[in-house]
Structure 1
Amino acid sequence: MAFDFPVYTPPDFTAPSLAQAPCVRFASVIQEGIAPDGYHATSVHPEYLHLAPDSWTLLQESRMDCVVVLDRDGELQVREFRTLKVEDRVACGRSEDGSDGILVYPGGFLPPGEEGERERFAFRTGFSRETSFSIDYDRLYALLEEEKRHGFILWVLGPAAIFDRDAREAFVSLVEGGYIHALLAGNAFPTHDLEGALYGTALGQDLYTKQPVPQGHYRHLDALNRIRALGSIRRAVEEGEVVNGVMRALIRKDIPFVLAGSIRDDGPLPEVIADACQAQDRMRILARKATTVIALATALHTIATGNMIPSYRVERDGRVRPVYFYAVDMSEFALGKLLDRGSVSARPILTNVQDFIVTLQRGLNRR
């Protein structure tokens, strides 16, 4: 099964409502970090701004809950509120149908096999623990094979992804196979991966048997202490202290990662970024490159990344393609919370993430 990208159909700008639309209004920032009244907040969808008669411009790099700034060269920038400077010119308008010179356009892509009209009444149109995901796996195998060569695959991982020996080894295989181009996580994921490398446990349980080991509750703290004493995860890998696991594989393959801290962190590890704004900026550098995102069992990091990822990407040749976002969790609540936060392009897969990783790795190996 080869992956077939849907064709993007742009808006019909000859339609009277758009042909007669006014140009978008810009207002200047008068206080640093504060948007002017009536600012337009961006979404995950393609958005066009009417800058001049017969000229609608598609935002090149959008993301949720930001503002649009017209720079001195006449280019549009999507910026966070906190980056605004005095005299920056910010797009204003709350109507999204073109009547304020701003068009939010969610209908550009038609998913394969869904071109026709849907039934007005049908069973199981949402997702739940009863939903089947066989076709989602098959499409994901094909997508990752394509993205491995031509895209940028960003993974967002919670610690549950490596609480199992087979899942941990399968993920290392995905790293080595070229299916991970960057990784986002918190402090817990690398901590327990390093605990596994140093002691063969995760949260004090044997990675395979799941049996608690004597004084196992010390193991993740011992791992943190040991890595902090060495100065960095990278140094621990280079000096041969860490001989297996995901963090070792990422470092040996020179794959970028961002570890964002939180208020509850133990340690944290030396590479964990404690400053939230700095971590957000570093995450966005990788998020801006993403063409496919796969988020596993981490509700807060998934929602944060979802807010950084638009539903589309403009390629260098001008082609507009979708950005795919897979969210995997065994909790309907966690996935529902993600969708409620505006990540409308997310595709949920409801399953145990450890099983997902193993199934994904085996499926890719069979291709």
Structure 2
Amino acid sequence: MNFQLPKYKQPNFDQEPFLSAPDARIVVIEIDGVAPEHYHALSIYPEYFKINGEWILASESRMDGVPVLKTDGTIQVVEFRNLRVGDKVIVGRTEDASEGIYIYAKGFSSNDTNSDLFAFRSGRSRETAYSMDYDKLYKLLIHERNNGYIVWVLGPAVVFDFDSRQALSALISNGYAHAILAGNAMATHDLEAALFGTALGQNTYNQQSPPNAHYHHLDLINKARQAGSLELLLEKETIREGVVYSAITNNVPMVLAGSIRDDGPLPPVIADVYQAQDEMRKHTRRATTIICLATQLHTIATGNMTPAYTRKDGEIRPVYIYCVDIAEFAVNKLKDRGSLEVTTLVTNVQDFLVHLKNNLVSP
């Protein structure tokens, strides 16, 4: 059976409290980068604003942004730092339409009530049964490969193991990735594995640590900086496999956001945190499915800038987010943000990737 997207059910604005609700109040920005008093900060849910008697859905919803009414009548979400003098910001801190602002969390809700109020193991933990989650994800990714925009958020653990690194490379090469968000470490250790067979000095297959292997990632970074780009490094060192190689050869964009911990870093790593955020947001705005693997900080950052819904072919649809980590605490950090569609799996990301490859990529 093919994957079926849930239908979005919009509120009935032909009834109360919507009919008698006032228009949303608007204040014009007077200082660049400064929101007005009583500004409205958006949630992750779809939000409607009453403008000239009509309820308008914000173009997207994203935490910590403010709604700005544009001259074309659309409502855009803007970060504080991007506010400009003259911008028309909607103000108000109620959510029930009483100030012309309505937050709607039930658009994709299921009517299924066939479950007990009390049940054992209702949370998500290492004891959870994930078989159905995997089956749903296989169907979702097959659908999204040609109909959506799949974004991977990757920690370095995905390339520390020989099989998982090969599995992820195969998934990328077979169309199951449209963008990659990561840091310096993931790309560095993937390229280190391609050149030296190690990741952070340890062999990715047999776990041995050859003499002076702790130099390998530094040597790799140095070679990349000498080459001037990852593309030239692949050519110069005749690298023909791995995650970075698969991404570059299949024109899958990678945003590598810098960290104060970085060695080197590699040439494409973005040192300016706000520039990195802007580049990441270009892809989270397009995302229909996001898969976050073994990287708590990148996962939380991505989750915070990702709308809970998006428009695709004129239709409103959910954005699916998967968070996979061996630590329960790490996956629950993203789940706690209240996203409509976060599915958490407490498991080894190396095993997770091999499962996906074995079920999605033909031998």
Q: Same fold (TM over 0.5)?
A: yes
Match of 2:255 among 255, 258, 263: 258
Q: In 1, are the aligned partners of 2:171 and 2:361 still within 8 Å (CA)?
A: no
Match of 1:361 among 338, 346, 357: 357
1:324 aligns with 2:320: yes
3-state DSSP of counterpart to 1:135? helix
Task: Give the TM-score normalised by the residue count of structure 1.
Answer: 0.96
Which deviates further from its counterpart, 175-184 or 68-77?
Answer: 68-77
> In the aligned structure 2, how far is the partner of 1:350 from the partner of 1:304?
19
Q: CA deviation at 1:22?
A: 0.9
Q: CA deviation at 1:215?
A: 1.6
CA deviations on 1:176-214 (whole Å, 9 max, x unpaired) are 110011100011000000100110001111110011111
Q: In 2, are the aligned partners of 1:7 and 1:110 still within 8 Å (CA)?
A: no
CA deviations on 1:12-31 (whole Å, 9 max, x unpaired) are 22332122111111111111
> In the aligned structure 2, how far is the partner of 1:341 from the partner of 1:137?
23
1:160 aligns with 2:145: no
What fraction of aligned residue pairs are identical, expressed as a percent? 52
> In the aligned structure 2, how far is the partner of 1:227 from the partner of 1:28?
48
CA deviations on 1:97-132 (whole Å, 9 max, x unpaired) are 111111111111135xx6226422222221111001
Q: In 1, are the aligned partners of 2:256 and 2:268 still within 8 Å (CA)?
A: yes
> Which residue of structure 2 lines up, in the alignment, with residue 198 of structure 1?
195
Q: Kindly report which structure 2 residues correspond to 1:176-255, keeping only aligned pairs within 5 A, or say none.
A: 176-255=173-252
Q: In 1, are the aligned partners of 2:67 and 2:76 still within 8 Å (CA)?
A: yes
Q: Kindly report which structure 2 residues correspond to 1:50-89, keeping only aligned pairs within 5 A, or say none.
A: 50-53=50-53, 55-89=54-88
> In the aligned structure 2, how far is the partner of 1:342 from the partner of 1:261?
27
Q: In 2, are the aligned partners of 1:183 and 1:258 still within 8 Å (CA)?
A: yes
Which deviates further from its counterpart, 84-93 or 1-10?
Answer: 1-10
> Which residue of structure 1 lines up, in the alignment, with residue 21 of structure 2?
21
> Which residue of structure 2 lines up, in the alignment, with residue 340 of structure 1?
336
Q: CA deviation at 1:88?
A: 0.9
1:147 aligns with 2:144: yes
> Which residue of structure 2 lines up, in the alignment, with residue 287 of structure 1?
284
> In the aligned structure 2, how far is the partner of 1:179 from the partner of 1:74?
36
1:124 aligns with 2:124: no
> In the aligned structure 1, how far is the partner of 2:71 from the partner of 2:316?
26
> In the aligned structure 1, how far is the partner of 2:95 from the partner of 2:275?
31
> In the aligned structure 2, how far is the partner of 1:99 from the partner of 1:171?
49
> Which residue of structure 1 lines up, in the alignment, with residue 104 of structure 2?
105
Q: In 2, are the aligned partners of 1:329 and 1:350 still within 8 Å (CA)?
A: yes
Which deviates further from its counterpart, 195-204 or 8-17?
Answer: 8-17
| Length, aligned pairs only | 363
Q: In 1, are the aligned partners of 2:56 and 2:74 still within 8 Å (CA)?
A: no
> Which residue of structure 2 lines up, in the alignment, with residue 37 of structure 1?
37
CA deviations on 1:2-59 (whole Å, 9 max, x unpaired) are 2121111111223321221111111111111010011111111111111122x11111
> In the aligned structure 2, how far is the partner of 1:137 from the partner of 1:105?
29
Letter in 1 for 2:333: K
1:5 aligns with 2:5: yes
Q: CA deviation at 1:366?
A: 6.3
Task: Give the TM-score normalised by the residue count of structure 2.
Answer: 0.97
CA deviations on 1:196-237 (whole Å, 9 max, x unpaired) are 011000111111001111122111111111111111111112
Q: In 2, are the aligned partners of 1:259 and 1:273 still within 8 Å (CA)?
A: yes
Structure 1 residues not aligned, in runs of 5+: none
Q: CA deviation at 1:345?
A: 3.0
Q: In 1, are the aligned partners of 2:152 and 2:180 still within 8 Å (CA)?
A: yes
Letter in 2 for 1:48: Y
3-state DSSP of counterpart to 2:68? strand
Letter in 2 for 1:352: N
> In the aligned structure 2, how far is the partner of 1:69 from the partner of 1:281?
18
Q: CA deviation at 1:75?
A: 2.2
Q: In 1, are the aligned partners of 2:291 and 2:323 still within 8 Å (CA)?
A: yes
Q: CA deviation at 1:365?
A: 3.1
> In the aligned structure 1, how far is the partner of 2:285 from the partner of 2:308?
12
Letter in 2 for 1:336: N
3-state DSSP of counterpart to 1:16? coil
